[in-house]
Amino acid sequence: MPRLPAPVSPRRRAALYTAASALALLLTSCSGATVGQVKSFESFDEVRAEAEGQTVDLWMYGGDEQGNAYVDDVLAPAAREQGVILRRVPVADTQDAVNRVLSERQAGRDDGSVDLVWVNGANFSTGRQAEVWRCGWTDLLPNMEYTDREDPLILSDFGTPVDGCEAPWHKAQFTFFYDSEAIADPPTSLAGILEWATANPGRFTYPAPPDFTGSVFLREVLLSAAGGADQVPLEYSEEAFDEHAPAALQALSEVAPSLWREGSTYPRDEQALNTLFANDEVDIAMTYGPATLTDLVAAGALPESTKVLTLDEGTVGNASFLAIPANAADAAGAMIVANIALSPEQQAAKADPAIWGQFAVLDTELLTPAQQDQFELLPESPIVPDYAELSRNAHGELAADWVPALSEAWRQDVASDR
Amino acid sequence: MSRGQGPTTTGRAVLFALPAVFPVVAVLGVSLAAAVLQSLGLMPFIGPPSFSVEAWTGNTGELVRATGLSLNIAATATVLSVCIGFLIAAYVLASPRMGWIVGALSAATIPIPHLIGAGAIGLLLSDSGFLERVLGMPAAFPALVGGPWWIAAITEYAWKESAFVALVVLGSIARSVGDLCDAAATLGATARQRVFRVVLPLAMPSLAVSALIVFVYTLGSYEPVWLLGPTSPEPLPVRAVRLFGSVDLTARPEAMASALVSVAVGAGVILIGILVVRRSREFR
């Protein structure tokens, strides 16, 4: 029997109209949302008064066990002493936190669930473009006096002016490391690493951009292929990209057949690369957090023969920051936490390789002798040289706009190629 | 659909269904509408809204490739799940004692989240994983995880979803199949004949429906393909999530276009599936 569509009854039509208008209402309430005026503070005492009893949600990359332990066991208790409860929200990638802020803003929420984000680079610049950060608040923090106001790493973040939109937290240095049992005579430059990879097929690879570590490697290859960090303008422009990117992509395409799995696939992230390194599938790996190496070797996650590989031309260094979204529900509490995190006591504790080993952002010359002692008494790592040696000949980061452009080009030219 | 019901009955039925249907339609409708608007540049994060189909037409080649790959993975996983799932069900029906254990194992598989399943498969099948260590053949071990044939990801789907298929089939035919099998056996049917002439036809409707569910699920599923697949090419969900999380805010429309393509393909498959199931005699 053929089935005939049933005629729409008036009642059903009415129900349809109701549903449609409800939908329209929901839709319109979502669009055109704007965030209300951000309440500003005149003094830090005002911040303190407002922060009392607030619960601050710190959204941060959750893949670093030591970092998680530092925040939970050292920073959070210090915050509690000042009347602020610090809650760590682990995310797989900082982009998730930025996305959350963006989505909440699009939904018109003034009481955002993200109060503080561990951020730098492209995520910071994306947030600035979309105007999601609270700005001009870091001058209120008393502990900013211990930082060097002229330090380029603190003044600009991947070429984006910081403008008081984020408080410095630590410094980092991009670092290669290798298995000293497998490589007796390690390369001393990035070009040397690529040559070594060609000569030792299957023993080198890098995380696939847009992974954070993978895209740093991409930028390092760009600078190396261009003949040095001073050859590439920090500012992104299409002309500069067209001038310098092809050489880097070509170098990576040429080395691809000699990579792990003949370059048909790449590790997903730094952890996946570390796993390959630990399983003796590759002999050279890389990280933007060399501080974690000490602990990884001590815990047996990386072999004892792991050694840091410093390059003659230096590697890229940066600082990472704590930013407060403009719609954060507990902004005052977040400022208290950012201030505590900058204190010499916290920075020294954080620099201890047994705790986290992150390099301090403070200028030790501005500290009292007692405070300086805290840093000088830090135990030395058997694997990681100190910051001064790691950052020898270091160069700054390219502007954030380079990051997505290079990742996309890599995906088109290098990854899809094979 | 039966005829002859008065308008009051229909009206009441609609009214009863409304509390369940309205939230689903509203949530789906709003999110799909928002996705369409974002894909067309009408809901940007920065700047004024401006209509553009760039996200759909800008990189059609990659979008088509991703769609083809997703369809391939989903189809292979579905075929495997349905075949294995049916065999499990037939085994459980045929040998009650051992079958009970197999049935319980299948049921225990269902609540394991796909992310955990994918992680476990990764540990089992990766280059220096459990299997490779047990076999002790590092050089000859094939690239199952991250390899060009998506073997690890498809294995994960086939493992989890075959258990689902088996449970659906068992649930739908367990009552009726026993007597019919006994009758067939009395008439001299071999075990093989009973499985393919009695159990299979009885299981067809539930197999078809569960195949549809498995196909649409695997088409839109993210974790196993992300965790166990190669960097490139990308299936639709992986592409959508990567672009959605991109630091480049202008990639958001492309992410929405990818997501909408997978929604459209899924909806299309469901429609075709329903039509086939309704038309075909075997499924009535």
Tokens in use for B69?
A: 């790959």
Let me know whether A215 and A357 are in one domain: no
Could you tell me what percent of chain A has a pLDDT over 70?
91
Residue B17 lies inside a defined structural domain of this protein: no
The model's pLDDT over A59-94, given as tens digits with 9 standing for 90+, comes to 999 988 899 999 999 999 999 999 999 999 999 889
Let me know whether A117 and A231 are in one domain: no
A172 sits in which H/E element: strand A166-173
Residue A6 lies inside a defined structural domain of this protein: no
**Cα(first)–Cα(last) distance of chain A, in Å?**
55
Contact (CB<8Å) B45/A279: no
Let me know whether A225 and A336 are in one domain: no
Let me know whether A180 and A242 are in one domain: yes
**Cα atoms found within 13 Å of the Cα of residue A357, Cβ hemisphere only:** 24
Q: How far apart are CA B184 and CA B188, in angstroms?
A: 6
A123, A265, A415 member nearest B146 (Cβ): A265
A178 sits in which H/E element: strand A175-179
Let me know whether A148 and A126 are in one domain: yes
How high is the pLDDT of residue B7?
Answer: 60
Parallel, antiparallel, or unpaired for β A116-119 and A160-161? unpaired
Q: How far apart are CA A251 and CA B33, in angstroms?
A: 44
Q: What is the mean pLDDT of chain A?
A: 89
Number of H helices, E strands in chain A: 17, 10
Measure the CA angle with vertex A28, ends B250 and A107; round to 5°. 55
- pLDDT < 50 regions, chain A: 1-10, 12, 15-16, 19-20, 22-35
Residue A256 lies inside a defined structural domain of this protein: yes
Let me know whether A134 and A257 are in one domain: no
Parallel, antiparallel, or unpaired for β A175-179 and A284-287? antiparallel
Residue B25 lies inside a defined structural domain of this protein: no
The model's pLDDT over B46-86, given as tens digits with 9 standing for 90+, comes to 888 999 999 999 889 999 999 999 999 999 999 999 999 99
How high is the pLDDT of residue A388?
Answer: 87
Q: Enumerate the β-bridge partners of residue A85.
A: A55
A27, A266, A279 member nearest B30 (Cβ): A27
Residue B16 lies inside a defined structural domain of this protein: no
**Cα atoms found within 13 Å of the Cα of residue A276, Cβ hemisphere only:** 26
One-letter amino acid identity for A142? P
Considering only CB atoms, which chain B residues are within 8 Å of A280? 128
Q: In a mutagenesis test of the B interface, which of A261, A281, A401 is the best target, namely the one with the most B β-carbons within 10 Å?
A: A261
Give ipTM to 2 decimals: 0.84
Backbone conformation region of residue A320, classed left if phi is above 0, alpha if psi is from -120 to 50, else beta: beta
From residue A191, alpha-carbon distances to A152, A218, A255 in Å are 27, 13, 11
Q: Enumerate the β-bridge partners of residue A306.
A: A179
Residue A11 lies inside a defined structural domain of this protein: no
Taking the CA atoms of A336, A337, A341 and A342 in sequence, report the sign of the dihedral they define: negative
Residue A10 lies inside a defined structural domain of this protein: no
Let me know whether A377 and A265 are in one domain: no
One-letter amino acid identity for A72? D
Structural domain containing residue A342: 21-165+318-387
Nearest-Cα residue of chain A relative to residue B141: A261
Q: Enumerate the β-bridge partners of residue A286.
A: A176
Considering only CB atoms, which chain A residues are within 8 Å of B22? 19, 22
Structural domain containing residue B267: 31-282
Q: For the stretch A345-379, what's the b/e string if a residue is b when 16 or more beta carbons lie within 10 angstroms of its beta carbon?
A: ebbbbbbbbebbbbbbbbebeebeeebbebbeebe
One-letter amino acid identity for B92? V
Could you tell me what percent of chain B has a pLDDT over 90?
67
Q: How far apart are CA A17 and CA A11, in angstroms?
A: 10
Residue A382 lies inside a defined structural domain of this protein: yes
Q: Enumerate the β-bridge partners of residue A112.
A: A328
How high is the pLDDT of residue A7?
Answer: 43
Considering only CB atoms, which chain B residues are within 8 Å of A15? 14, 18
Residue A8 lies inside a defined structural domain of this protein: no
The stretch B121-127 carries a mean pLDDT of 92
Residue B67 lies inside a defined structural domain of this protein: yes
One-letter amino acid identity for B190? T
The model's pLDDT over A399-409, given as tens digits with 9 standing for 90+, comes to 999 999 999 99
The pLDDT-based confidence of B284 (bands split at 50, 70, 90) is: low
From residue A353, alpha-carbon distances to A76, B172, B189 in Å are 19, 60, 74
Q: What is the mean pLDDT of chain B?
A: 90
Q: Answer for the pair A251, A189: CB distance below 8 angstroms, yes or no.
A: no
Considering only CB atoms, which chain B residues are within 8 Å of A281? 127-128
How many independent structural domains does chain A possess?
Answer: 2
Which carries the bigger pLDDT value, residue B282 or residue B204?
Answer: B204
How high is the pLDDT of residue A14?
Answer: 52
Could you tell me what percent of chain B has a pLDDT over 70?
95
Residue B144 lies inside a defined structural domain of this protein: yes
Considering only CB atoms, which chain B residues are within 8 Å of A92? none
Q: Which residues contact A264 (CB under 8 A, 6 or more apart)?
A: A418, B143, B147, B148, B230
A3, A261, A415 member nearest B143 (Cβ): A261
- Burial (Cβ within 10 Å: 0-12, 13-18, ≥19) of residue B20: exposed
Let me know whether A116 and A26 are in one domain: yes
Let me know whether A254 and A345 are in one domain: no
The model's pLDDT over B155-200, given as tens digits with 9 standing for 90+, comes to 999 999 999 999 999 999 988 888 898 899 899 999 889 999 999 9
Write down the residue that tokens 């989240």 correspond to: B113
Task: Write out the DSSP string of B90-147.
Answer: HHHHH-HHHHHHHHHHHHHHTTS-HHHHHHHHHHHHSTTSHHHHHHT-TTT----TT-
Q: How far apart are CA A261 and CA A275, in angstroms?
A: 15
How high is the pLDDT of residue A416?
Answer: 83
The model's pLDDT over A236-293, given as tens digits with 9 standing for 90+, comes to 999 999 999 999 999 999 999 999 999 999 999 998 999 999 999 999 999 998 888 8
Q: CATH code at A195?
A: 3.40.190.10
Contact (CB<8Å) B249/A129: yes
Q: CATH code at B135?
A: 1.10.3720.10
Q: Answer for the pair A320, A117: CB distance below 8 angstroms, yes or no.
A: no
Which chain B residues have any C-beta within 8 angstroms of a chain A C-beta? 1, 7, 10-11, 14, 18, 22, 25-26, 29-30, 33-34, 37, 43, 45-46, 127-128, 143, 146-148, 226-227, 230-233, 242, 244-249, 251
Let me know whether A308 and A333 are in one domain: no
Let me know whether A274 and A408 are in one domain: yes
How high is the pLDDT of residue B261?
Answer: 96
Q: What is the widest separation between alpha-carbon atoms in chain A?
A: 95
How many independent structural domains does chain B possess?
Answer: 1
Q: For the stretch A189-217, what's the b/e string if a residue is b when 16 or more beta carbons lie within 10 angstroms of its beta carbon?
A: ebbbbbebbeeeebbbbbbbbbbbbbbbb
Dihedral, A159, A165, A168, A174 alpha carbons, nearest 10:
-30
Tokens in use for B231?
A: 């960097």
Residue A3 lies inside a defined structural domain of this protein: no
Q: How far apart are CA A198 and CA A392, in angstroms?
A: 27
pTM of the predicted model as reported, rounded to 2 decimal places? 0.85
Residue A305 lies inside a defined structural domain of this protein: yes
Instruction: Give rounded-to-5 percent helix, strand, coil for chain B.
Output: 75, 0, 25
> How many A/B residue pairs have CB atoms within 8 Å?
93
B37, B230, B246 member nearest A264 (Cβ): B230
Let me know whether A142 and A274 are in one domain: no
How high is the pLDDT of residue A6?
Answer: 43
Q: In what order do the strands lie in the sheet with A317-323?
A: A85-91, A55-61, A116-119, A317-323, A166-173
Q: How far apart are CA B218 and CA B69, in angstroms?
A: 12
One-letter amino acid identity for A156? S
Residue B124 has pLDDT above 60, yes or no: yes
Q: How far apart are CA B158 and CA B170, in angstroms?
A: 18
